[in-house]
């Protein structure tokens, strides 16, 4: 008989409703045991809507409840470290919403807590954008389809519009809530990291075009996080990546366009679904040295992945598999990259990785 696993939720927002609660509900002998939201009222509302058994007045009580086996943290990055560390110290398994933390110092503390809590599973929710194509692109590169990597040019303008100071402020615009994370930079570094490896050095330049936005209370808040960013980074395995992203590049900017140049071939990943901004359907094109033109590459069905984060988390707890997307070690890597970008923006210097404290 498979052991029952009781899951507690801290922050039951949109992702919990859309993905986590249904994902856990679909697994045998997994139960939505408890929830702690900002208020008891919002917790009761979430519990009723999602079928969660118990409502807690605060997240500490949820973590310390012996009936809870695993914690799903759905809050913003500024609380991730304290909640994850507390959960791990209470020997709870942790599924933490991305981004992992405010900075790499917090991320290292989270990793240390997981290593000091033997038998616990610690996972960061991975980005869903490239799951369908990820394995095939990785295999093509590893099997030599394009030869040695020379360079990568990635332009990420998902959901970009022309600058508008009347756009409501989002938590990603607030440094006090998101730390050194910038737009969806960490997401795309994580995706690229799976394909071409990790950065050895980083040089970045950025600007904040919309310098203030409206808070929900009507007041204007100063924005310190860039909304236009260019990053050049070297790869440990060889090659250079140029990553450009913006939320204010206008309505005509490409949603997503990534070129991977090799010594004997080229891959291109781009959005094909312009009718669905922010959630593009990705296609892969490729050509090697013997081809006359690039062609669309079919993704074999046995290599296509879809969202199974909750299943992977539970299977890892049960010893049936190990976490691939995304363990705390990989989370630390993208948080160190995030800090390197932030430092380079401030100093104008190239920052080497990994960061040594």
Task: Give dist(CA 92, CA 63) in Å, integer.
Answer: 8
pLDDT at 218: 84
Q: Enumerate residues 6+ apart whose C-beta is below 8 A from 301.
A: none
Q: What is the CATH number of the domain that holds 46?
A: 3.40.50.720
Task: Give dist(CA 288, CA 295) in Å, integer.
Answer: 10
**Same-domain pairing of 293 and 319:** no
Cα torsion 49, 55, 60, 66 to 10°: value is -110
DSSP annotation of 252? T
Q: What is the CATH number of the domain that holds 240?
A: 3.30.360.10
Is 37 among the domain residues? yes
Residue 143 φ then ψ, to 5°? -90, 5
pLDDT at 1: 44
**Same-domain pairing of 140 and 289:** yes
**Same-domain pairing of 97 and 187:** no
pLDDT in tens, the chain (357 residues): 468 999 999 999 999 999 999 999 999 999 999 999 999 999 999 999 999 999 999 999 999 999 999 999 999 999 999 999 999 999 999 999 999 999 999 999 999 999 999 999 999 999 999 999 999 999 999 999 999 999 999 999 998 999 999 999 999 999 999 999 999 999 999 999 999 999 999 999 999 999 999 888 888 999 999 999 999 999 999 999 999 999 999 999 999 999 999 999 999 999 875 445 445 589 999 999 999 999 999 999 999 999 999 999 999 999 999 999 999 999 999 999 999 999 999 999 999 999 876
Two tokens at 80?
């991730």
**Same-domain pairing of 91 and 240:** no
pLDDT at 275: 47
Is 23 among the domain residues? yes
**Same-domain pairing of 89 and 155:** no
**Same-domain pairing of 266 and 312:** no
**Same-domain pairing of 292 and 311:** no
Is 357 among the domain residues? no
**Same-domain pairing of 65 and 200:** no
**Same-domain pairing of 153 and 285:** yes
The total domain count for the chain is 2
Task: Give dist(CA 28, CA 30) in Å, integer.
Answer: 6
pTM of the model: 0.94
Is 198 among the domain residues? yes
Is 354 among the domain residues? no
Is 185 among the domain residues? yes
Is 340 among the domain residues? no
Task: Give dist(CA 92, CA 8) in Å, integer.
Answer: 10
The boundaries of the domain holding residue 137 are 131-305
**Same-domain pairing of 98 and 19:** yes
**Same-domain pairing of 155 and 230:** yes
């Amino acid at each position: 008989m498979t052991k029952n696993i009781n899951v507690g939720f801290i922050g039951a927002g949109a992702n919990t409703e859309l993905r986590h609660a249904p994902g856990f509900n679909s697994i045998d002998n997994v139960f939505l045991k408890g929830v702690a939201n900002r208020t008891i009222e919002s917790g009761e509302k979430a519990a009723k809507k999602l079928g969660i058994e118990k409502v807690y007045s605060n997240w500490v009580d949820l973590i310390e409840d012996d009936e809870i086996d695993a914690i799903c943290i759905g809050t913003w990055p500024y609380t991730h470290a304290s909640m994850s560390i507390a959960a791990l110290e209470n020997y709870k398994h942790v599924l933490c919403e991305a981004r992992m933390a405010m900075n790499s110092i917090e991320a290292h503390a989270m990793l240390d807590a997981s290593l000091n809590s033997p038998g616990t599973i610690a996972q960061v929710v991975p980005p869903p954008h490239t799951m369908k194509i990820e394995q095939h692109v990785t295999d093509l590169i590893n099997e030599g389809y394009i030869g040695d990597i020379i360079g990568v040019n990635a332009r990420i303008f998902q959901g970009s519009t022309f600058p508008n100071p009347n756009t409501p402020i989002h938590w990603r615009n607030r440094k006090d809530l998101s730390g050194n994370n910038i737009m969806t930079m960490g997401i795309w570094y994580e995706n690229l990291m799976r394909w071409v490896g990790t950065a050895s050095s980083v040089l970045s330049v950025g600007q904040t075009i919309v310098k203030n936005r409206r808070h929900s209370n009507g007041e204007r808040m100063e924005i310190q996080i860039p909304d236009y960013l260019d990053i050049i980074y070297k790869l440990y395995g060889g090659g250079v990546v140029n990553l450009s992203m913006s939320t204010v590049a206008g309505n005509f900017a490409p949603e997503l366009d990534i070129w991977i140049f090799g010594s004997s071939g080229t891959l291109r990943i781009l959005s094909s679904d312009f009718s669905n901004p922010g959630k593009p359907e990705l296609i892969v094109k490729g050509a090697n040295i013997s081809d006359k033109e690039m062609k669309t590459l079919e993704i074999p069905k046995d290599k296509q992945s879809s969202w199974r984060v909750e299943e992977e988390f539970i299977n890892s707890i049960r010893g049936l598999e190990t976490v691939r997307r995304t363990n705390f070690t990989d989370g630390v890597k993208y948080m160190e990259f995030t800090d390197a970008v932030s430092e380079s923006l401030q100093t104008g210097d190239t920052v080497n990785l990994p960061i040594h404290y």
